Structure 1
Amino acid sequence: MTDTNGTAEQAPGQQEQSEQDARHAAVAAHPFVAVTIQSTGIHPSTGRLVSVDAVTFDADGEIGEEFHAVINPGSDPGPHHFHGLTHEEVAAGQRFSQVLRTLDRLIDDRTLIVHNSPRVWGFIVSEARRTMNAAARANRSRGRGRGRGRRRRQRVGHVPRPAAIVDTLASARRQEIAFEDTRLGGLATALGIPDASPVATVDRAQVPEEETSREQSLLLIDVHETLREQGPLCEREPSELRADRFGLQRTHVRVDAVEAPRPHPNPGVYVPGRSLVQGMEVVVAPEIEMDPNDIIEACLREELAYSEKLTRQTSVVVCNKTTDLRGKAMHAVRKGIPLLSDVAFMAAVERGVTPAGR
């Protein structure tokens, strides 16, 4: 087929096949994509995305495509210092529906690299589903209205489909790397990557958000490459994950454990040196080397209770750190709740859990 100028044209099927071939070649050339986000809060259930930055790359760290967008969520963007964007910049941004198909193209079939996957992947999934639901409602409304069939249906894209998701923060913990600041810059500093300090400065506050977000994406690539050279990475398939009540994308094992009914009354705080007792409430801190799923599955198998939240009813906290405590471990010690390393906890399980009521 030729056009009026004699140039060969492709049939629709051929054009679609050519586009698919070109995309497959692009993914093969750069099979990884690093994504960083800015949001109005820490939980996808209550916060919204205000920017997303993505960079594709290969195993040698060579950059492929680059993408950045400011997102207008249509709601209060929150304070400037939290994400680096003014209200005016957010108001001038695109709707997520305008960028979702681009994100699909960049993320689908690639290995997605993020820092703190429950939060980052949680926001991406939450925004995608919110956008898709809005489009579905609009399409149903068009179908019921006058002039049915005359207006085009909205096609906004889908929840991205990465081949796998690598979490650099979780990977560093599985490798037992010592770091105090869990932000990407803090981990990079601990890994010896130069010029990676997470400390805020007046000069840095003057840098446009697009520039700082791109710096973070490139730093994420460096952190990923360093961790990959040092040991195993924490990698999940999207099918392993689902949203918890905060919209954070966690494993099915973890979410199911939180939602599971308590098998027995809580017998109280664990006494070091004695046996665990059925019904004891176990909290798993992030600072462990084992896969948390293994510990949580052991809890359910032995009829212990699992909780994400540490309270005075917590019986024991699984944590490998014993000094410079932060977060759950620090609060556990303050409340008089004992800590057990992941190895010690699993050994206690292997020795046998005392049945409830004894």
Structure 2
Amino acid sequence: MLEDHQATTVEVPGQQSAGVPWPSGYPGGYAVVDVETTGLAPDDRIVSAAVYRLTARGEVEDHWYTPVNPERDPGPTWIHGLTSAMLADAPLFGQIAEEFARRLEGRVLVAHNAVFDWKMIAREYARADRVAPVEQRLCTIQLSKALRLPLANHRLETLAAHFGVEQRRAHHALDDARVLAEAFRPSLQQAARLRLPLPLLTCLPVTDWPQTASGAAGAAAGGRSGGGTAWRPGWRASKRRPPCPYPNPGRYEPGGRLVQGMRVAFSGDTSVDRELLEDQAFEAGLHIAGSVSRLTSLLVTNDPQAPTSKVAKARAYGTPVLDEAAFTHLLREVAPAPEV
């Protein structure tokens, strides 16, 4: 088992290529990334990071892991397992930024709920007065949807089980990155066989970030998500979906889990296609609300200061607010509806 107090790099011998005819427009290499953090808010910090570098065909070149001193409370230690004592002698992000960048440079960043990992990484580089050398990202949730994989949900463990990948230490950045790398390779090769265009998204650098306290309450009070897409006025028809089969358990509790049956509303632009994001939420057992009322459990918006009726009502009702990155991260582990 790797020690949590030192950066670790491991070279991996070359692997046999699958012999799949390869689309000429596919990227030349990938960096499969996982970061563990102090929380989900825009001003939260990274406590550990791992990168698996892959070839153009998804074969592992090497992997690297480091804990990171977040210069604050490490947050949910019961999830990532890293305590203040364990991180006391870990390097600061600025001290590992160059090595991290070397492993990202020239590659597509691959992650599960990639918008979350990307924004956390981009904000850390902004704090260090640098820009992460990433131009594109690929979300494995979107790829599995494009491949129409028969998954019960889009949790990492479900994707891993589909491809027979063993999870050894969930929520440890290195093991999560390994699991994702092993599941991404057959996904990539299947996409190549189908000549499927990869769901690549542009990574825009973050130029500012909130300095307020963490949490949804801070966002509701006006904390702005750095690097979020600017709000544009417009109207979109709501997709007709079957009724949510679960009762509304009430409001989302900041720092807690989403629960099946929660009423979730969306406002403004999202980096992931809105309909896809709503589909993911619906499949996880959430109720997609077209408006905000006193019964709304949560509002998801990348711009909590936008002049929209949903944002105004959320502020008036005290409805919890999360940005897209935090919300997609929480979608990985939605709690089952309480038994009636």
TM-score w.r.t. structure 2 length? 0.54
**TM superposition shift of 1:168:** 0.8
What SS class does the counterpart of residue 71 from structure 2 fall into? coil
Pair member with larger Rg:
1
Deviations 1:110-135 (A, max 9, x none): 11111112210000011111122xxx
Secondary structure at the counterpart of residue 34 of structure 1: strand
Number of the residue aligned with 1:345: none
Number of the residue aligned with 1:185: 157
Q: Summarize the Cα distance change of 1:325–1:68 in structure 2 as closer, same or farther, 3 Å threshold.
A: closer
SS in 2 for 1:194: coil
Q: CA deviation at 1:31?
A: 2.3
From the superposition, tell whether residues 236 and 92 of structure 1 become closer, same or farther in structure 2 (CA, over 3 Å). same
The answer as to whether partners of 2:151 and 2:158 remain within 8 angstroms in 1 is yes
Equivalent-residue separation in structure 1 for 2:98 and 2:239 (angstroms): 54
Question: Residue by residue, what CA displacement relative to the aligned partner does 1:52-76 show, whole Å, maximum 9, x if unpaired?
Answer: 1112121343332422111111111
Tell me, yes or no, if the aligned pair for 1:40 and 1:47 is still in contact at 8 Å: yes
**Is 1:224 paired with 2:184?**
yes
Q: Give the conservation status (yes or no) of the 8 Å contact 2:165–2:182.
A: no
Where in structure 2 are the equivalents of 1:67-106 lying within 5 Å?
Answer: 67-106=64-103
More helix by share: 1
Unpaired runs of at least 5, structure 2: 1-26, 210-222, 241-264, 297-340
Say if 2:198 is the partner of 1:233. Answer: yes
Cα separation, 1, equivalents of 2:118 and 2:36 = 12
Task: Quote how far apart the aligned CAs of 1:99 are.
Answer: 0.5
2:39 aligned partner, one-letter code: G
2:286 and 2:207 mapped to 1: Cα distance?
24
Return the offset for 1:178: 4.3
Match of 1:292 in 2: 273
Choose from 326, 330, 336 the match for 2:285.
326
1:172 pairs, out of 137, 144, 147, with 144
Write the distance in 2 (CA, Å) between the matches of 1:89 and 1:271.
47
- Which protein, 1 or 2, shows the higher relative CO under an 8 Å CA cutoff with sep ≥ 6? 2
**3-state SS, counterpart of residue 47 of structure 2:** strand
Alpha-carbon distance in 2 for matches of 1:30, 1:54: 16
Kindly provide the CA deviation profile for residues 185-205 of structure 1, in whole angstroms up to 9, marking residues without a partner as x.
22222xx221445xxxxx958
Q: 1:326 to 1:241 in 2, by over 3 A?
A: farther
C-alpha displacement of 1:292: 1.8
Secondary structure at the counterpart of residue 169 of structure 1: helix
Alignment of 1:55-134 (within 5 A): 55-132=52-129
TM-score (norm 1): 0.51
> Which letter maps to 1:115?
H
Identity, % of aligned positions: 19
2:40 matched to 1:42?
A: yes
CA–CA distance in structure 1, aligned partners of residues 102 and 154 of structure 2: 30
SS at match of 2:36: strand
Q: Structure 1, unaligned stretches of length 5 or more? A: 1-28, 133-157, 198-202, 273-281, 285-290, 297-307, 309-317, 338-358
Q: CA deviation at 1:219?
A: 1.7
Specify the SS of the correspondent of 1:256: coil
Query: Matched residues in 2 for 1:94 and 1:179: separation?
Result: 38
CA contact (8 A) 2:122 2:205 kept: no
Q: Give CA-to-partner distance per residue, 1:15-69, whole Å, 9 cap, x none.
A: xxxxxxxxxxxxxx972211111101123x1311000111212134333242211
